[in-house]
Protein backbone atom coordinates (compact mmCIF):
# COMPACT_ATOMS: atom_id res chain seq x y z
CA UNK A 1 0.00 0.00 0.00
CA UNK A 2 1.27 3.49 -0.81
CA UNK A 3 2.46 5.90 1.87
CA UNK A 4 1.41 9.52 2.27
CA UNK A 5 3.38 11.96 4.42
CA UNK A 6 1.25 14.61 6.13
CA UNK A 7 3.04 17.62 7.60
CA UNK A 8 1.16 19.43 10.38
CA UNK A 9 2.58 22.91 11.08
CA UNK A 10 3.04 24.47 14.49
CA UNK A 11 1.34 27.43 16.15
CA UNK A 12 1.39 30.57 13.99
CA UNK A 13 3.53 28.73 11.45
CA UNK A 14 2.51 28.93 7.83
CA UNK A 15 3.53 26.97 4.75
CA UNK A 16 5.64 27.14 2.76
CA UNK A 17 8.24 26.98 5.51
CA UNK A 18 11.74 25.58 5.82
CA UNK A 19 10.52 22.20 7.08
CA UNK A 20 7.54 21.92 4.74
CA UNK A 21 9.68 22.73 1.70
CA UNK A 22 12.28 20.19 2.80
CA UNK A 23 9.65 17.51 3.34
CA UNK A 24 8.04 18.20 -0.02
CA UNK A 25 11.40 17.80 -1.78
CA UNK A 26 12.16 14.60 0.15
CA UNK A 27 8.78 13.11 -0.76
CA UNK A 28 9.18 14.08 -4.41
CA UNK A 29 12.60 12.41 -4.51
CA UNK A 30 11.31 9.19 -2.97
CA UNK A 31 7.95 9.17 -4.78
CA UNK A 32 5.74 9.58 -1.73
CA UNK A 33 2.60 11.65 -1.75
CA UNK A 34 2.89 14.78 0.39
CA UNK A 35 0.13 16.82 2.01
CA UNK A 36 0.37 19.94 4.12
CA UNK A 37 -1.93 22.84 4.94
CA UNK A 38 -2.32 25.98 7.02
CA UNK A 39 -4.24 26.12 10.28
CA UNK A 40 -6.97 28.74 10.70
CA UNK A 41 -5.29 31.10 13.14
CA UNK A 42 -7.26 34.15 12.00
CA UNK A 43 -10.78 33.26 13.12
CA UNK A 44 -11.77 34.88 16.39
CA UNK A 45 -13.10 31.59 17.77
CA UNK A 46 -10.50 29.05 16.61
CA UNK A 47 -8.71 26.89 19.18
CA UNK A 48 -6.96 23.53 19.48
CA UNK A 49 -10.24 21.70 18.82
CA UNK A 50 -10.73 23.67 15.59
CA UNK A 51 -7.28 22.76 14.34
CA UNK A 52 -7.66 19.11 15.39
CA UNK A 53 -10.95 18.68 13.54
CA UNK A 54 -9.49 20.40 10.47
CA UNK A 55 -6.66 17.84 10.54
CA UNK A 56 -9.16 14.99 10.83
CA UNK A 57 -11.15 16.32 7.87
CA UNK A 58 -8.00 16.35 5.75
CA UNK A 59 -7.04 12.81 6.80
CA UNK A 60 -10.52 11.48 6.01
CA UNK A 61 -11.16 13.42 2.82
CA UNK A 62 -7.73 13.64 1.20
CA UNK A 63 -5.91 10.39 1.97
CA UNK A 64 -8.17 7.58 0.75
CA UNK A 65 -6.93 4.23 2.04
CA UNK A 66 -3.24 5.06 2.02
CA UNK A 67 -0.90 4.35 4.90
CA UNK A 68 0.05 7.54 6.70
CA UNK A 69 3.07 9.05 8.38
CA UNK A 70 2.19 12.18 10.32
CA UNK A 71 5.02 14.67 10.78
CA UNK A 72 4.02 17.35 13.25
CA UNK A 73 5.96 20.39 14.42
CA UNK A 74 5.27 21.70 17.94
CA UNK A 75 1.46 22.14 18.07
CA UNK A 76 1.27 19.88 15.01
CA UNK A 77 2.81 17.00 16.96
CA UNK A 78 0.25 17.51 19.73
CA UNK A 79 -2.54 17.30 17.14
CA UNK A 80 -1.02 14.13 15.66
CA UNK A 81 -1.03 12.43 19.08
CA UNK A 82 -4.66 13.42 19.58
CA UNK A 83 -5.53 11.31 16.53
CA UNK A 84 -4.39 8.26 18.51
CA UNK A 85 -6.13 9.33 21.72
CA UNK A 86 -9.47 11.00 21.00
CA UNK A 87 -12.55 9.06 19.92
CA UNK A 88 -13.33 11.33 16.96
CA UNK A 89 -10.70 9.37 15.02
CA UNK A 90 -12.06 5.92 14.22
CA UNK A 91 -10.16 2.63 14.19
CA UNK A 92 -10.03 2.57 10.39
CA UNK A 93 -8.07 5.82 10.30
CA UNK A 94 -5.81 4.83 13.17
CA UNK A 95 -5.00 1.52 11.50
CA UNK A 96 -3.52 3.42 8.54
CA UNK A 97 -1.13 5.49 10.67
CA UNK A 98 2.23 3.77 10.39
CA UNK A 99 4.34 6.44 11.99
CA UNK A 100 4.40 9.77 13.76
CA UNK A 101 7.40 12.09 13.70
CA UNK A 102 7.01 14.63 16.51
CA UNK A 103 9.34 17.60 15.98
CA UNK A 104 9.81 19.84 19.02
CA UNK A 105 6.47 18.67 20.34
CA UNK A 106 4.33 21.13 22.27
CA UNK A 107 2.75 19.38 25.26
CA UNK A 108 -0.34 21.28 26.36
CA UNK A 109 1.27 24.58 25.45
CA UNK A 110 -2.01 26.46 25.76
CA UNK A 111 -2.26 25.51 29.43
CA UNK A 112 1.31 26.63 30.07
CA UNK A 113 0.55 29.99 28.47
CA UNK A 114 -2.63 30.34 30.51
CA UNK A 115 -0.72 29.78 33.74
CA UNK A 116 1.81 32.47 32.78
CA UNK A 117 -0.83 35.21 32.78
CA UNK A 118 -0.73 37.74 35.61
CA UNK A 119 -2.71 38.88 37.45
CA UNK A 120 -4.45 35.54 37.96
CA UNK A 121 -7.95 36.93 37.48
CA UNK A 122 -7.14 37.60 33.82
CA UNK A 123 -6.87 33.84 33.27
CA UNK A 124 -10.66 33.52 33.38
CA UNK A 125 -11.44 36.68 31.39
CA UNK A 126 -12.43 35.47 27.93
CA UNK A 127 -11.99 38.97 26.53
CA UNK A 128 -8.42 39.34 27.76
CA UNK A 129 -5.57 39.25 25.24
CA UNK A 130 -2.25 37.91 26.50
CA UNK A 131 0.63 39.64 24.71
CA UNK A 132 3.25 36.91 24.99
CA UNK A 133 6.85 37.70 23.99
CA UNK A 134 8.17 35.52 21.17
CA UNK A 135 11.38 35.54 19.17
CA UNK A 136 9.50 33.81 16.33
CA UNK A 137 7.16 36.73 15.62
CA UNK A 138 8.22 39.74 13.55
CA UNK A 139 6.52 41.95 16.15
CA UNK A 140 8.35 40.31 19.05
CA UNK A 141 5.14 38.94 20.56
CA UNK A 142 1.96 36.97 19.89
CA UNK A 143 -1.45 38.23 20.91
CA UNK A 144 -3.10 35.17 22.45
CA UNK A 145 -6.81 35.11 23.30
CA UNK A 146 -7.66 33.77 26.73
CA UNK A 147 -10.86 32.43 25.17
CA UNK A 148 -8.70 30.24 22.91
CA UNK A 149 -6.72 28.96 25.89
CA UNK A 150 -9.86 28.15 27.88
CA UNK A 151 -11.64 26.46 24.98
CA UNK A 152 -8.56 24.30 24.34
CA UNK A 153 -8.73 22.67 27.78
CA UNK A 154 -10.92 19.87 26.42
CA UNK A 155 -8.09 18.88 24.05
CA UNK A 156 -5.24 18.75 26.55
CA UNK A 157 -3.12 15.62 26.51
CA UNK A 158 -3.78 13.48 29.63
CA UNK A 159 -0.34 14.06 31.15
CA UNK A 160 -1.66 13.45 34.66
CA UNK A 161 -2.12 9.76 33.79
CA UNK A 162 0.70 7.35 34.56
CA UNK A 163 -0.26 5.31 31.50
CA UNK A 164 -1.53 6.87 28.26
CA UNK A 165 -2.87 4.31 25.82
CA UNK A 166 -2.37 5.10 22.13
CA UNK A 167 -4.76 3.24 19.84
CA UNK A 168 -2.71 2.19 16.83
CA UNK A 169 -1.36 -0.94 15.15
CA UNK A 170 2.28 -1.42 14.15
CA UNK A 171 2.90 2.30 14.61
CA UNK A 172 6.34 3.80 15.18
CA UNK A 173 6.59 7.09 17.06
CA UNK A 174 9.78 9.15 16.92
CA UNK A 175 10.11 12.21 19.14
CA UNK A 176 12.88 14.46 17.85
CA UNK A 177 13.66 17.27 20.26
CA UNK A 178 16.35 19.88 20.74
CA UNK A 179 18.15 19.94 24.08
CA UNK A 180 18.39 23.74 23.73
CA UNK A 181 14.63 24.06 23.27
CA UNK A 182 13.64 26.66 25.87
CA UNK A 183 10.01 26.76 24.71
CA UNK A 184 9.44 23.08 25.48
CA UNK A 185 12.27 21.70 27.66
CA UNK A 186 13.30 18.25 26.51
CA UNK A 187 12.82 16.84 30.04
CA UNK A 188 9.09 17.49 29.65
CA UNK A 189 9.02 15.38 26.49
CA UNK A 190 10.98 12.54 28.12
CA UNK A 191 8.49 12.49 31.01
CA UNK A 192 5.54 12.50 28.62
CA UNK A 193 6.94 9.74 26.42
CA UNK A 194 7.59 7.54 29.47
CA UNK A 195 3.81 7.44 30.03
CA UNK A 196 2.86 6.34 26.52
CA UNK A 197 1.74 2.78 25.81
CA UNK A 198 1.25 1.15 22.40
CA UNK A 199 0.79 -2.40 21.11
CA UNK A 200 3.74 -4.78 21.17
CA UNK A 201 4.37 -4.46 17.43
CA UNK A 202 4.87 -0.71 17.70
CA UNK A 203 7.80 1.27 19.06
CA UNK A 204 8.51 4.64 20.64
CA UNK A 205 11.86 6.37 20.19
CA UNK A 206 13.38 9.66 21.31
CA UNK A 207 16.09 11.44 19.34
CA UNK A 208 17.64 14.32 21.27
CA UNK A 209 19.58 16.94 19.30
CA UNK A 210 22.21 18.24 21.72
CA UNK A 211 22.47 21.71 20.14
CA UNK A 212 18.97 21.88 18.63
CA UNK A 213 16.41 24.55 19.49
CA UNK A 214 12.62 24.53 19.21
CA UNK A 215 12.48 25.14 15.48
CA UNK A 216 14.74 22.27 14.36
CA UNK A 217 15.18 23.98 11.00
CA UNK A 218 18.97 24.09 10.58
CA UNK A 219 20.60 21.99 7.87
CA UNK A 220 21.82 19.48 10.45
CA UNK A 221 18.30 19.27 11.91
CA UNK A 222 16.82 18.67 8.46
CA UNK A 223 19.33 15.89 7.87
CA UNK A 224 18.22 14.27 11.13
CA UNK A 225 14.59 14.62 10.03
CA UNK A 226 15.56 12.87 6.79
CA UNK A 227 17.08 10.02 8.81
CA UNK A 228 13.88 9.70 10.86
CA UNK A 229 11.74 9.62 7.72
CA UNK A 230 13.96 6.95 6.19
CA UNK A 231 13.49 4.84 9.31
CA UNK A 232 9.71 5.32 9.37
CA UNK A 233 9.17 4.59 5.69
CA UNK A 234 11.53 1.59 5.73
CA UNK A 235 9.67 0.07 8.67
CA UNK A 236 6.31 0.75 7.03
CA UNK A 237 7.35 -0.94 3.78
CA UNK A 238 8.80 -3.94 5.60
CA UNK A 239 5.66 -4.84 7.55
- CATH number of the structural domain spanning residue 216: 3.40.50.1820
Do residues 55 and 83 both lie within one domain? Answer: yes
Q: What is the rounded distance in angstroms from the CA atom of residue 228 to the CA atom of residue 176?
A: 9
- Give me the domain span that covers residue 69: 3-107+158-237
Q: Does the pLDDT at position 135 exceed 80?
A: yes
Query: Rounded to a whole number, what is the distance in angstroms from the first to the last CA of the chain?
Result: 11
Do residues 232 and 202 both lie within one domain? Answer: yes
Question: Which pLDDT belongs to residue 12?
Answer: 94
Q: Considering only CA atoms, give the Rg of the chain.
A: 17
Q: How confident is the model at residue 109 (pLDDT cuts 50, 70, 90)?
A: very high
Question: Which pLDDT belongs to residue 169?
Answer: 84
Q: Does the pLDDT at position 86 exceed 80?
A: yes
Percent share of the chain, pLDDT over 90: 90
Q: How confident is the model at residue 222 (pLDDT cuts 50, 70, 90)?
A: very high
Q: How confident is the model at residue 139 (pLDDT cuts 50, 70, 90)?
A: very high
Do residues 54 and 151 both lie within one domain? Answer: no
Q: How confident is the model at residue 26 (pLDDT cuts 50, 70, 90)?
A: very high
Note the Cα 5 to chain centre separation in Å.
13
Taking residues 73-84, what's their average pLDDT? 98
Write down which residue in 99, 121, 156 finishes a domain.
156
Do residues 170 and 222 both lie within one domain? Answer: yes
Write down which residue in 129, 156, 183 finishes a domain.
156
User: Under the phi-then-psi rule, with left for phi > 0, alpha for psi from -120 to 50, and beta for the rest, what region is 94?
Assistant: alpha
Domain count, the chain: 2
pTM: 0.96
Do residues 97 and 124 both lie within one domain? Answer: no
Question: Which pLDDT belongs to residue 235?
Answer: 79
Amino acid sequence: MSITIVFIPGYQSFVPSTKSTFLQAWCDKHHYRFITFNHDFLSSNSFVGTWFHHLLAILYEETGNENLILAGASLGAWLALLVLIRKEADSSLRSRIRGILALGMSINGTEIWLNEIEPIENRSDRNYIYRRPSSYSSTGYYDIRVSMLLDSKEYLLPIECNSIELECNNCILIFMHGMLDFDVPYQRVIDFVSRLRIDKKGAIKIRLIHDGDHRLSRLEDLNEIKSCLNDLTDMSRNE
